[in-house]
Amino acid sequence: MQYFAVIDIGSNSTRMLVARFFNDKILPCRTYLRTTRLGGAVEKGGRLTNKAMSKTIGVLKEYLGYLSPYKEISKVVIATSAVREASNKTEFLERVKKETCLDVRILTGKEEALFSYWGATNEFREIENPLVIDVGGGSTEISFKEKENVHTLSKNLGSVVCTENKLTYSDILNRLEPELLYLKNFKETQLIGTGGTVTTLAAVDQKLACYDPQKVHSHVLRKDKIKKMYKAFSRMSLEERKKVTGLQPDRADIIVAGTMIVLAIMDLLDKDKIIVSESDLLHGAIWNEISKSN
């Protein structure tokens, strides 16, 4: 039995998954999430702010404290679009190394999409033609398999980025349409969704006062329900959204943009439902580590 700790430094949050690998399955032990909003704190020139970097590093130190009881555990730290796009990413990585002794691997857009694909599809092995979408804070990844090759698409359209730039549904649609039209030919694909926006929509759809991963995982979101949620969110003030059952207050300001991204993808691909996956790029990072050791 092997233990892993995977930390994802994302645009909206910094998460950690502690899991064990046993009998060809990843079995989560604990999950942690802190809203650090690294991707929403960018100065002119695409620089991460000192405040956001310090907050994120503080969370990393907190997470390391949680790992102290584990005698042997493999640590993997990945960073996605916020760090990937930052002009001062080297400064951030050096600070993380100096203050925590952690080495951070910045994923390319392709790698981020692949990790999400591996994480989701290993949980839904019965689905023959999955098409995985990962709506994050800084970017959205889309991945699917054609013959033996996994194709990926990464766009700098995430819930934080779209909120900060005040993008409309039409803006999002126009940026996605040229590359997604090709995928309309794959009629038999089944959409699987990962990422905070999709899991939040599943929690709101089920009115979960306390987030329950088991109820969120495998939940089927239908487009008509997502549209109703989007219309409701759009009419509410920020304070009203913070009180919606199933919607974490820290995500209330970006849920409208995130929902628009999901709807735009479903509209462009002519899909009326999406299966929600709790298994995402964190799990994919573990599968990547396992594949390297085999």
DSSP sequence for 168-206? -HHHHHHHHHHHHGGGGG-TT-EEEEESHHHHHHHHHHT
DSSP one-letter code for 107: P
Lowest-pLDDT range of 89-93, 122-126, 258-262 = 122-126
Q: Please report which confidence band the pLDDT of residue 147 belongs to, taking 50, 70 and 90 as the band edges.
A: confident
pLDDT at residue 187, rounded to an integer? 66
Residue 120, classed as helix, strand or coil, is helix
What would the mean pLDDT of 123-137 be, rounded to a whole number?
A: 93
- Does the pLDDT value for residue 25 go beyond 60? yes
- Does the pLDDT value for residue 43 go beyond 70? no
Question: Can you say how many angstroms the Cα of residue 4 is from the centroid of all Cα atoms in its chain?
Answer: 19
Lowest-pLDDT range of 113-122, 198-207, 285-294 = 285-294
Q: Please report which confidence band the pLDDT of residue 255 belongs to, taking 50, 70 and 90 as the band edges.
A: very high
Neighbours of 268 (CB within 10 A): 17
Considering the domain 2-106 in this protein, what is its CATH number? 3.30.420.40
Rounded-to-integer distance, Cα 264 and Cα 258, Å: 10
Assess contact for 79 and 9: CB atoms under 8 A: yes
Q: b/e map of 97-122 (b: 16 or more CB within 10 Å)?
A: eeebebebebbebebbbbbbbbbbbb
Specify the CATH class of 125-281 in words. alpha beta
Locus of tokens 């820290």: 250
Bridge partner residues of 23 (DSSP) = none
Domain layout of the chain by residue ranges: 2-106, 125-281
Residue 82: name the closest of 62, 109, 101 by CA. 109
Bridge partner residues of 133 (DSSP) = 142, 193
Assess contact for 63 and 16: CB atoms under 8 A: yes
Rounded-to-integer distance, Cα 160 and Cα 155, Å: 13
Q: Please report which confidence band the pLDDT of residue 45 belongs to, taking 50, 70 and 90 as the band edges.
A: low
pLDDT at residue 42, rounded to an integer? 66
Q: Please report which confidence band the pLDDT of residue 141 belongs to, taking 50, 70 and 90 as the band edges.
A: very high
To the nearest whole number, what is the mean pLDDT of the chain?
93
| Fold agreement between 2-106 and 125-281 | yes
Q: What is the pTM of this model?
A: 0.93
- Does the pLDDT value for residue 117 go beyond 70? yes
pLDDT digits (tens, 9 = 90+) for 170-212: 999 999 998 887 777 766 789 999 999 999 999 999 999 999 9
